[in-house]
């Protein structure tokens, strides 16, 4: 059979193929990605869409967790200071129940209690980023309003907001004031007002004062119990945060598996392609070095 005399096209095709493969290797090495176009691996590209989505979600969850945690911590520490203030009022009440005190002394104690009421009121009307955090979902106005005579009424609601902190898990992120300060039967402000009134009134007995202290104690207990919500939620957030950080590492590893490159393999592919290219070029150079034409002049000269 006659052999095709045209070798240049063969060489050209071989070189082009090698150059294509080199270009691909270089692109992979420079981007760190094996899939630089959907067509490089359509199935991997499709998986990457969802992995990228999960990565975005994870980052968003972490952001939300950190925003929430700082709000909840502020609320928690404010409630702590309210608790301390109420404890102080209880001490004042216990002191006031001492029969040896003069009415003048008691009036002074009542004023202390009123001061404490103001402190607790400030906590109950705590704002975070412009929102009244203890007003339930009615958080655009102060939930507790003083009537000017020591009486305080709750303007908030019982609404609770839930935020998704990881796929499929939502957690409650607020405790309405109606659970903290003005729970049915254990109203902090009512108890403080009663104590103040008992201390101020000439007619009240040490027993009256003692009763007021008792109901303040139970309001304090309710506040302390309800306040646990914040501590628990913060703990929960921190634990979710931890698992989200782990998830993030796993996702990133998964993304690398799906669309990332095996650095060693890509580098060795590149060097193989370069070796093959050199060999082809050398072979091509030697292919056309021999021709009968070279001998014609020699024969003709004989």
Q: Does residue number 300 form part of the binding site for another protein (CB under 8 A)?
A: yes
Q: Which of residues 36-95 bind another protein (CB under 8 A)?
A: 37-43, 45-50, 52-53, 56-57, 59-61, 63-64, 67-68, 71
Nearer of residues 37 and 263 to another protein, judged by Cβ:
37
Distance from the Cα of residue 170 to its chain's centroid: 13
Return the residue of 15, 101, 163, 171 that touches another protein, per CB under 8 A: 163
Q: Does residue number 302 form part of the binding site for another protein (CB under 8 A)?
A: no
- What is the 3-state secondary structure of 72-121? HHHHHHHHHHHHHHHHHHHHHHHHHCCCCCCHHHHHHHHHHHHHHHHHHH
Name the one range near another protein by CB under 8 A: 84-92, 130-138, 217-225, 269-277: 130-138
CB of 107 to another protein, least distance (A): 40
Written as one string, the DSSP assignment of 164-215 is EEETTEEEE----HHHHTEETTEEHHHHHHHHHHHHH-TT--HHHHHHHHHH
Q: Which among 1, 4, 14, 24 has a CA at the least distance from the CA of 270?
A: 24
Nearer of residues 139 and 193 to another protein, judged by Cβ:
139
Q: Terminus-to-terminus CA distance in the chain, angstroms?
A: 33
Other CB atoms within 10 Å distance of the CB of residue 172 = 12
Work out the angle between the directed axes of helices 188-200 and 42-96 (0-180°, nearest 10). Answer: 10
Nearer of residues 94 and 283 to another protein, judged by Cβ:
283
Q: Which of residues 11-40 bind another protein (CB under 8 A)?
A: 13, 35, 37-40
- With beta carbons less than 8 A apart as the criterion, state whether 157 and 204 touch: no
Return the residue of 173, 192, 212, 216 that touches another protein, per CB under 8 A: 173
- Structure tokens belonging to residue 150: 């020591």
Q: Which of residues 253-292 bind another protein (CB under 8 A)?
A: 259, 291-292
CB of 155 to another protein, least distance (A): 11
Q: Does residue number 123 form part of the binding site for another protein (CB under 8 A)?
A: no
CB of 240 to another protein, least distance (A): 13
User: How far is it, in rounded angstroms, from Cα 180 to Cα 205?
Assistant: 29
CA-to-CA separations, 189 to 94, 156, 184, 216, 223, in angstroms, rounded: 18, 15, 12, 9, 12
CB of 224 to another protein, least distance (A): 25
Q: Does residue number 142 form part of the binding site for another protein (CB under 8 A)?
A: no
Nearer of residues 42 and 151 to another protein, judged by Cβ:
42
CB of 280 to another protein, least distance (A): 15
- Structure tokens belonging to residue 90: 């209880």
User: How far is it, in rounded angstroms, from Cα 90 to Cα 104?
Assistant: 19
CB of 235 to another protein, least distance (A): 18
Interface residues with another protein (CB under 8 A)?
1-6, 9-10, 13, 35, 37-43, 45-50, 52-53, 56-57, 59-61, 63-64, 67-68, 71, 129-131, 135-140, 157, 159, 161-164, 170, 173, 259, 291-293, 295-296, 299-300
């Amino acid at each position: 059979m006659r052999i095709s005399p045209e070798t240049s096209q063969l060489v050209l095709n071989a070189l082009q193929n090698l150059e294509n493969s080199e270009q691909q290797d270089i692109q992979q090495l420079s981007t760190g990605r094996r899939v630089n176009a959907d067509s490089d691996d359509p199935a991997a590209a499709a998986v990457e869409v969802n992995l990228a989505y999960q990565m975005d979600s994870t980052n968003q969850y972490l952001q939300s967790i950190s925003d929430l945690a700082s709000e909840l911590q502020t609320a928690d520490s404010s409630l702590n200071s309210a608790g301390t203030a109420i404890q102080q009022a209880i001490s004042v009440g216990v002191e006031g129940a001492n029969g040896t005190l003069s009415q003048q002394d008691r009036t002074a104690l009542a004023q202390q209690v009123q001061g404490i009421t103001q402190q607790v009121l400030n906590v109950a009307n705590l704002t975070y980023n412009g929102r009244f955090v203890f007003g339930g979902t009615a958080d655009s106005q102060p939930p507790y309003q003083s009537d000017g005579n020591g009486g305080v009424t709750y303007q908030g609601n019982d609404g609770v907001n839930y935020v998704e902190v990881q796929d499929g898990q939502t957690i409650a992120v607020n405790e309405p004031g109606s659970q903290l300060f003005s729970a049915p039967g254990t109203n902090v402000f009512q108890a403080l007002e009663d104590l103040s009134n008992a201390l101020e009134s000439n007619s009240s007995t040490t027993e009256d004062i003692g009763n007021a202290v008792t109901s303040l104690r139970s309001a304090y207990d309710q506040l302390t119990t309800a306040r646990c919500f914040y501590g628990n939620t913060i703990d929960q957030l921190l634990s979710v945060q931890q698992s989200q950080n782990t998830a993030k590492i796993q996702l990133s590893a998964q993304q690398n598996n799906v669309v990332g490159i095996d650095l060693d393999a890509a580098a060795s592919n590149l060097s193989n392609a370069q070796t093959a290219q050199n060999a082809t070029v050398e072979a091509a150079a030697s292919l056309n070095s021999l021709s009968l034409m070279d001998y014609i002049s020699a024969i003709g000269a004989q």
